Structure 1
Amino acid sequence: MTEGGEARWWHEEEGRIVCDLCPRDCRLLPGQRGLCFVRRREGDRMVLDAWGRSSGFCLDPIEKKPLYHFYPGSSVLSFGTAGCNLSCQFCQNWDISRAKETHNLTDRALPEEIADAAVRWGAESVAFTYNDPVIFAEYAIDVAIACRERGVRTVAVTAGYIREAPRRELFAVMDGANVDLKSFSEEFYFRLTGGHLAPVLETLATLRHETSVWFEITTLLIPGHNDGAREISEMCEWIIRELGPDIPLHFTAFHPDYRMADVPPTPPRTLMDARKRALSMGLHYVYTGNIADREGSRTLCPGCRNPLIEREGYRIDSYRIDAGGACPVCHHRIVGRFWDRAAPLPFGNRRIPILLHPGS
């Protein structure tokens, strides 16, 4: 990819350019943009307006992504672009994901500059987040390659709505991911996101069976829409059957926003009950998020139930996984990506906005 922003994954058909990146299959006439807004037809080619540009940078705790089993306690350089290929009525980042103006992409951000900034700020990894890296996959791949050359890991925070060929290429250069499984209902996906469930499940299965990427799953529980006991049970059954019981699952709280401002926030009890149900069904690592719940943020040993990591918000208060990645009591192997020493880096709850080009 050059700085000009020429996109991949498209073909011509009956005078239109058809985008092959995601299941939307946007069919573009000259000058038209895809639903994601950042992929545009220019003459007889498709361009990616987001290449080399960002909507901002922050240094975050990795637990904020959320990733609880991926180098706990470390810092991550987070950034995104603008736009999205889903139309979630409940979007919590709608000012970025639904942005329809390229002036939202104000920061010049070349791949090598991002990788160098991560090294300069001591970030263990770079996260593509705030909006979905699927829509700027070419750019994310270029950044990931630049990071890998400098020993920096990369993380995709994504809804997983992507076709097979770009999926394989994107995750071939990622080290970690958090996949937003918005519901286990096709009707929910179609009505409230404008998408479909099956491609997301395909992404999860690909990550588990065909890559070495460490990934975790997040489900935002929305009162009256995807928080029913039956749906949660069906989702957990699928995860255990198709992915295995060791995949961490995060249930997080909805707050009224965007086009669902009339829906009440998720009661903490709903998240706690969902966690209890998932654990009782056999999942080993289940967490709650966006609420104060110390119990729901603990990492417990599946073998002896000994608390191994205790958290307060995004801060790690105690860490008992040994240097071999196992429980020091029963020696059960804890899955994930852990330090080769028995202590994490204490980044804590901080969130530090940064300038990619200091002094500019």
Structure 2
Amino acid sequence: MTAGYRPGPAVRLLVSAMDAYKLVFVEAAVARILSRAHPVRREGYDRTVVIERILAEADGVVSLTLRDPRGTPLPAWTPGAHLDVFLPSGRQRQYSLNGDPADRLRYRISIRRIAEGGGGSVELHDTMRVGDRLRIRGPRNAFPFIAAQSYFFVAGGIGITPILPMVAAAARSGKPWRLVYLGRSRACMPFLDELARWRGGELVVRPDDEFGPPDLTTVIDRVPADAAVYVCGPPPLMDSACRRVSELDPMSALHTERFSPLPVRDGVEFRIALRRTGRTVRVHAEESALTAIQRAIPGVAYSCRQGFCGTCKVRVVDGEVDHRDRLLADAERADSMLTCVSRSHGGDLTLDL
């Protein structure tokens, strides 16, 4: 419009009607968008797979090859990724993907049978057969493989499973790599032949029955300045390896993944009232809330025991939580907790269990 122009009543009425129409149109469009289902399915969704193959990899270790029952491609994954596996018993466990990421038709996971464990590995070893179906969730990656000039890997026992595809990726990329692989004996160390096929790096295999318990100050004698360092294995090995790497290179890019829970640090004893169960349990200073709850509810759901999968999430009815997880959003922390790692912030808690 030109300067000084004043629209008449009819024009003003038309403009007002158009503005109202635009407002209603925009509000309706927004309402339609907000009313749609918005599942975040970049990763972490469920599907059923069938066991195509079961292969003994070492003493006490088997690999399961999984595929879609219809033969359709499976979701892509990157080295370091894992699957949540839901067992027929109701148990949920996590296993690293260790096959070839380029093979979209199959996943491979490997399981060491631990008789004194929580029962998941025994169930998979003793009851699952070729042709059986499993429900899985994922892949998810809490141990990502990053681009680097070189790589240094330390694996202990079944801790080789997330490391294996990383070694393959480093070898394929032409980047220098070094793997220190520790275990009780060669007979119980899976994938030795597979690892030996990769070139361009250094494979150091140190079974205890040949070399004695590892002296990491000798075994880990150097860390390249530009290397990404990955460590996975039993907690004592990981703690020692991480200390040694930090001694050699305090600025190293150090990445770790554990197959067992971290020890409780700065723990203080408290009590948990289980509202639905009607019992109260005492959480000792050195144990997790999950461990205490299991004494009252042996079948309570859990998986990672490290605060990132969310399986043990429970609603908090009363009390203040010391959140130590890596998963919950700020809005969820007001009334939820992950019992595997989080604790009371002072005083007792009441949980909806």
TM-score w.r.t. the length of structure 1 is 0.28
Q: Higher relative contact order at CA 8 Å, sep ≥6: structure 1 or structure 2? A: 1
Pick the structure with more strand per residue: 2
Find the structure with the greater CA-based Rg: 2
